[in-house]
Amino acid sequence: MTDNARYTQTRTFHGSVAKLAASLAIVLAACSLSWEDWPATGALLALALAGLAVSGMPLAELARRLALFSPVVALLALSIPLSQGFSSGWSLAATVASRATVSFLAGLWLIHVLPFDEMLLTLKRLRIPDVCISTLSFMHRNIFVLWEETRRIRTARKARRFGRTDRLDEWRAAIGLIATLVIRSLDRGDRIHRAMLARGWDGHFRHWQKVPASDPGPVEPS
Amino acid sequence: MHIPDGFLSTPVCLATGAISIAAVGYSVYRLKHSLADRTIPLAGMVSALVFTGQMVNFPVLMGTSGHLVGGVLAARLVGPWAGCLSLTLVLFVQRFLFADGGLLALGANVFHMAVVGAMGGYAIQAVVTRLLGRTTRASVIGTVVASWITVMLAAFLCCLEFALSRDSLRGFDLGRFLVLMILFHAFIGIGESLISGGIIRMVSFRRPDLLYQSEPSRVTRPGFPTAQGLLIALLVTICLAPLASSLPDGLDSAIQQSVSVRPEVDSPSLFGSYEGIFGETTWHVWSVILSGLIGTLVVFAIAVILGRPYSGSDDTTPGDPSD
């Protein structure tokens, strides 16, 4: 059964919407609480952690994500008392940090229980414009293609480089890498567009509808 | 750096989200006419490009690193509308694939990076490029200036939204927070300028055909739509100016409350007070209308001067190696 056919089942759609709504509800609740409401914030934190535990997210993955997220929020929260010479703003910083942490965990649970392709199909059913969904789908496919391209360019540069490099050289190399990526990706986009035109592309994606096995008729595009 | 949930209040997140939806919706509307069937492959590829470009790290200090934001770069490559859509999609994927940035704050992030970054950045670089003469050098300088200004503008807006998010800022000096944020983002802006300018410079010399060339406006001289807009603005001024409140505005009120000793002599100003032109209270309504009309006409004149379409007389192409 294809993803699209599986997704035509109402149960999957309602489940995805419920997951989105649950995550949003936790974020909304967390953002309405201040640092002084720590029991309620703690309850929401426990709820988000319980959700992550039930979803089967590996502890190492959770730790890795938290390690990436924590410095950013710590920097942002600490900038509030830092701007006041550390004489005030601590309560505000604690509120920002607690809200952000609970919301981050709720968001992490959402992306763990709702795969990206299912998210796109849910948004499509929620009447988000087709051009946005199709472009997102196209982008999602090409992120991995371009990442592979980046690795190839980087490997080729390393193979041609000898000796130590200073920071200026690294900046030059990184700028050159992205500029090369710009040229190659836009050329690739142009080639893909022409290939799409050759296959009858008129600006709209078409999805094949699920046809029961007993139906002897041909499969028609919707 | 993306704004996480909790930094801004829910009403501010909803307000910035509404602005972002309107801006992205307008971008999609414009793309249907300008790019048509190229919208999805081009915007999708540029989104993937910006996303991948953001994963390339630039070493800064003490083991820390920075990365590209890409609003001005995307706008310079595919124009303001596709650039805005691309940055929006990048932020969406970062949120729903990597939990980067807030769910409620997604609208604010789109506002800062896609609307201000791509649309605003494109407008700034277009003005700078035009002032400097539409050469490759002017294009690079325009990109550098636009990158720096958009980062600073985003930081300023972030502080403004932070202030609006708090019911009370008692004991909290917002000015000092603003200074810290602006100072911090001034360095981020320099990095963004160097990266975007460097990339546009290399692309300009290698493949200038890939850079976005704005189409000449259909209205090449002040015509009926311009006159219509001016007429509406003047009518609004005439009808609503007499309703202007006589009470001081927020800034005046704050100054009056905080400054105990007022100067004896007001500083000279052409429009120091709306009634200043006539001076008599009986002429209050007419003076307000006249002041409003003069202000509208001055702003209109500035808009017409800055908003003139490019003349096609400049033969220098962006890829001219003599630049």
Question: Which residues does residue A208 pair with via DSSP β-bridges, in sequence order?
Answer: A221
Question: Alpha helices of chain B — where are they, by DSSP H?
Answer: 10-34, 39-54, 71-98, 106-110, 121-132, 136-165, 174-206, 224-240, 250-258, 284-306
- Answer whether residue B60 is part of any domain: yes
Instruction: Of B183, B270, B37, B177, give the one whose Cα is nearest residue A89.
Output: B177
- Do B66 and B105 belong to one domain? yes
Greater model confidence, B263 or B134:
B134
The CB density around residue B111, as the number of other CB atoms within 10 Å, is 28
Q: Count of CB contacts below 8 A, A vs B?
A: 225
Across A207-216, B120-129, B248-257, least confident range: B248-257
- Stretch A88-114: mean pLDDT: 91
Structural domain boundaries enclosing B27:
10-210
**8 A C-beta contact, residue A80 and residue A60:** no
Q: Which of B103, B184, B187, B213 to mutate to test the interface with A (most CBs of A within 10 A)?
A: B103
The CATH number assigned to the domain holding B96 equals 1.10.1760.20
Average pLDDT, chain B: 78
CA angle B202-B204-B207, nearest 5°? 95
* pLDDT tens for each residue of B121-132: 999 999 999 888
Q: Which pLDDT score, from 0 to 100, does residue B114 have?
A: 95
Cβ <8 Å between A96 and B7: yes
User: What is the band of B143 on the pLDDT scale with cuts at 50, 70, 90?
Assistant: very high
**8 A C-beta contact, residue B319 and residue A183:** no
pLDDT above 80 for B317: no
Q: Which pLDDT score, from 0 to 100, does residue B255 have?
A: 46
What is the rounded CA–CA span in Å between residue B53 and residue B62? 22
Q: Which pLDDT score, from 0 to 100, does residue A121 have?
A: 87
- Stretch A85-114: mean pLDDT: 90
The structure tokens listed for B215 are: 């189409």
User: What is the band of A165 on the pLDDT scale with cuts at 50, 70, 90?
Assistant: confident
pLDDT above 60 for B259: no
| Amino acid found at A159 | A
Cβ <8 Å between B39 and A131: yes
Cβ <8 Å between A203 and B39: yes
pLDDT above 60 for B258: no
- Do B237 and B129 belong to one domain? no
* pLDDT tens for each residue of B13-47: 999 999 999 999 999 988 887 767 787 888 999 99
The region, left, alpha or beta by phi > 0 then psi within -120 to 50, assigned to residue A89 is left
Please give the C-alpha separations between residue B257 and each of B251, B254, B263, in angstroms, as whole numbers.
10, 5, 14
- Answer whether residue B19 is part of any domain: yes
Q: Which pLDDT score, from 0 to 100, does residue B281 have?
A: 53
Q: Which pLDDT score, from 0 to 100, does residue B157 have?
A: 94
- Answer whether residue B147 is part of any domain: yes
- Answer whether residue B56 is part of any domain: yes
**8 A C-beta contact, residue A31 and residue B9:** yes
- Do B112 and B38 belong to one domain? yes
Q: Which pLDDT score, from 0 to 100, does residue B231 have?
A: 76
- Do B79 and B158 belong to one domain? yes
Distance from CA of B92 to the nearest CA of A (A): 9
Average pLDDT, chain A: 85
Q: Which residue of B has its CA nearest to A149?
A: B52
Cβ <8 Å between A92 and B31: no
Q: Tell me the chain B residues in contact with residue A136 when contact means C-beta distances shorter than 8 Å.
A: 44, 47, 89, 92-93
- Do B114 and B69 belong to one domain? yes
User: What is the band of B149 on the pLDDT scale with cuts at 50, 70, 90?
Assistant: very high
> What DSSP state is assigned to residue A29?
H
The sign of the dihedral angle between the CA atoms of B159, B162, B166, B171 is: negative
Q: Look at chain B and report how many structural domains it folds into.
A: 2
Cβ <8 Å between B59 and A186: no
**8 A C-beta contact, residue A79 and residue B184:** yes
| Amino acid found at A10 | T
Residues 6 or more apart from B303 whose CB is under 8 A from it?
Answer: none
* pLDDT tens for each residue of B74-116: 999 999 999 999 999 999 999 998 888 889 999 999 999 999 9
Q: Tell me the chain B residues in contact with residue A132 when contact means C-beta distances shorter than 8 Å.
A: 28, 85, 89
Report for B93-102, B247-256, B260-269: range of highest mean pLDDT: B93-102
* pLDDT tens for each residue of B49-59: 999 998 888 87
Q: Tell me the chain A residues in contact with residue B205 when contact means C-beta distances shorter than 8 Å.
A: none
Report for A95-104, A200-209, B286-295: range of highest mean pLDDT: A95-104
What is the rounded CA–CA span in Å between residue A56 and residue A96? 28
- Do B43 and B87 belong to one domain? yes
Q: Which pLDDT score, from 0 to 100, does residue B104 have?
A: 92
- Do B163 and B232 belong to one domain? no
**8 A C-beta contact, residue A34 and residue A58:** no
- Stretch B240-252: mean pLDDT: 54
Q: Which pLDDT score, from 0 to 100, does residue B267 have?
A: 46
- Answer whether residue B300 is part of any domain: yes
- Stretch A209-219: mean pLDDT: 55
pLDDT above 60 for A213: no
The structure tokens listed for A75 are: 């920097």
Q: Which pLDDT score, from 0 to 100, does residue B269 have?
A: 45
- Do B34 and B64 belong to one domain? yes
Please give the C-alpha separations between residue B55 and each of A57, A93, A173, B24, in angstroms, as whole numbers.
24, 29, 14, 24
* Residue given tokens 């990206």 in the structure block: A116
Q: Tell me the chain A residues in contact with residue B77 when contact means C-beta distances shorter than 8 Å.
A: 182, 186
> What DSSP state is assigned to residue B2?
P
> What DSSP assignment string belongs to B52-107?
HHHTS-EE-STT-EE----HHHHHHHHHHHHHHHHHHHHHHHHHHHH--S-STTHH
Q: Is the CB of B1 inside 8 Å of chain A's CB atoms?
A: yes
